Structure 1
Amino acid sequence: MDNALFSRRRTERFAQLLDEANGGRRHHVRSRIDDQLTPLVALGRQLGANPPEPAVDPEFRTGLRAMLLATAVREGIGTPPATTPAEKTGVTRGSLLPAVTARRARARGAILVGIAAGAIAVSGISAASENAVPGDALYGMKRGTERAQLALASSEISRGQLFLDFAGTRLAEASALRGNRVGYGAVLDDMDADTRQGVRLLTAAAAQRSDPTALDAVDAFLTRQRRALDVLTDRGSRADQERTAQSLALLASVGERADALRLGIACGQQISTASDELGPTPGTCP
């Protein structure tokens, strides 16, 4: 194996090519190693478009979930420390000891959380929490994993695609919570917020580059999201159905915005600098 393949220069150039292939900013440079890296870039795009579905053994997921819950209970994570009589009474030197102990306990909890977050990708914790819904002990871990993915995204387009993926995840959670009026509506609120975030990033990228490629992700999202929401249209209480209709109306607005931007880019229109919750607001083609 050519050790030079893993040199810093090759690695940085591969990252640039992969970012450009995914719609990122073009660097307008050419390197003599581009021909060697092109097949790897194609493979990277293929894996990104069709990520392999990990097969997690149900027994492993169940066992890991039970272990994590037991650890949380044993370490007191998520449970406020009990107030001792010494903390309620005077400020003396002796009364500082419980406070120091409490701080150490909180620090230990923070360290445990940090270690757990760092080990998500390799320990299978994300697999154990992937089916968690609001109210489950591991739901916070699931949302923490999503925030970590956003922090590691290489471009605004990648971040926009992630937000749309999370909106799809919220919809799956809402399906599981159907009948829980408060929980169902709250999850759809989160879903719509993720939708707006993702669409705003992708439409802005399309307008800035005068390239509708970023809108392809919006179109694909609309197709699968509408299909899944339509299943919930006539289910649940009247309040649930009305809340579902609000999310469908948002998707209709997203579709109109994407179509208008495509038309504006196609006719060479200068996209307006004004924007709203869905990103740039296009004008009318001459």
Structure 2
Amino acid sequence: MKRARRSRERVLDHLTELSERPLGGGPDPAFRERLRAELASARALDQAPSPRHARPAHRRPRRRRPLLAQLASAGAVVTLLLSMVSTYQAVPGDTLYPLKRAAESTLVRLTTDDVVRAERELVSAKTRAKEVAQLLGESGEGPLVGRTLKEMEQSTRAGITRLERVEPRSPKIGKFAESQKNMVEPMIEKLDGDEQDQAVGYLDYIEGLVPPSG
């Protein structure tokens, strides 16, 4: 088994070497011969019968992958997807934005720890606030701004409600409220109509979360 593994590793090394070659020209004959020899060696070792199982009897059916392993794989995929989407810095109205939101929501739903889930909801609220600020700095389109403000408030209330249930006096609540206040307050003068009313109502809500000084 170790010999077969070493052969496969050498094959991978050769393939890596091939991938690093410039496009337009094939590998030299010596390289092709080395690769062909390694592939043949690895295949022969894989097909050779194992001494311990020269006469395979009744084989047990393969067990299905445990549910926990499946969930772990799904979580890893979602985390990778969220990382990929975040590199695009998509905002409402962008083509990739629905994919970003879907990955973000899935990551929250997969979280079983209440504290972590609440924190991720609050992170989503902060992200929505940054998106509103960016929209106002670009075009200030009413429908997108209003919808993003609404989603910001929904994530905030969901996160705060959950966090207050599991950690009623958590300092994270006050820190979040202060941070959001500093983010949303400068937006008021750039908003008008329903969007301004939304932002003012949101500020009233989070100001009640800041613990009194002294």
Q: TM-score, normalised by structure 1?
A: 0.43
1:104-123 map, 5 Å: 118=77, 121=80
| Cα offset, 1:119, TM superposition | 6.7
| Cα offset, 1:127, TM superposition | 3.4
- In structure 2, what is the equivalent of residue 185 of structure 1? 146
1:58-77 map, 5 Å: none
| Cα offset, 1:236, TM superposition | 3.1
The yes-or-no answer on 1:141 pairing with 2:102 is no
CA pair 156-136 structure 1, distance change in 2 beyond 3 A: same
- In structure 2, what is the equivalent of residue 156 of structure 1? 114
1:167 and 1:149 mapped to 2: Cα distance?
14
- In structure 1, what is the equivalent of residue 133 of structure 2? 175
SS at match of 1:192: helix
SS at match of 2:85: helix
| Cα offset, 1:121, TM superposition | 1.0
8 Å contact 1:162–1:198 — kept in the other structure? yes
The residue type paired with residue 183 of structure 1 is: L
1:136 and 1:145 mapped to 2: Cα distance?
15
Deviations 1:28-87 (A, max 9, x none): xxxxxxxxxxxxxxxxxxxxxxxxxxxxxxxxxxxxxxxxxxxxxxxxxxxxxxxxxxxx
Structure 2 residues not aligned, in runs of 5+: 1-73
The yes-or-no answer on 1:254 pairing with 2:212 is no
8 Å contact 2:118–2:160 — kept in the other structure? yes
1:232 and 1:226 mapped to 2: Cα distance?
10
SS at match of 1:134: coil
Superposition RMSD in Å: 2.6
Structure with bigger gyration radius: 2
1:157 and 1:124 mapped to 2: Cα distance?
21
2:134 and 2:86 mapped to 1: Cα distance?
18
2:106 and 2:126 mapped to 1: Cα distance?
18
The yes-or-no answer on 1:127 pairing with 2:86 is yes
The residue type paired with residue 229 of structure 1 is: V
SS at match of 2:189: coil
8 Å contact 1:120–1:126 — kept in the other structure? no
8 Å contact 1:181–1:239 — kept in the other structure? no
2:104 and 2:81 mapped to 1: Cα distance?
15
| Cα offset, 1:240, TM superposition | 3.3
Deviations 1:142-201 (A, max 9, x none): 112212321343410111111011000001111122221111111110000000000001
Structure 1 residues not aligned, in runs of 5+: 1-114, 261-286
8 Å contact 1:164–1:194 — kept in the other structure? yes
- In structure 1, what is the equivalent of residue 200 of structure 2? 245
1:154 and 1:135 mapped to 2: Cα distance?
31
Q: TM-score, normalised by structure 2?
A: 0.56
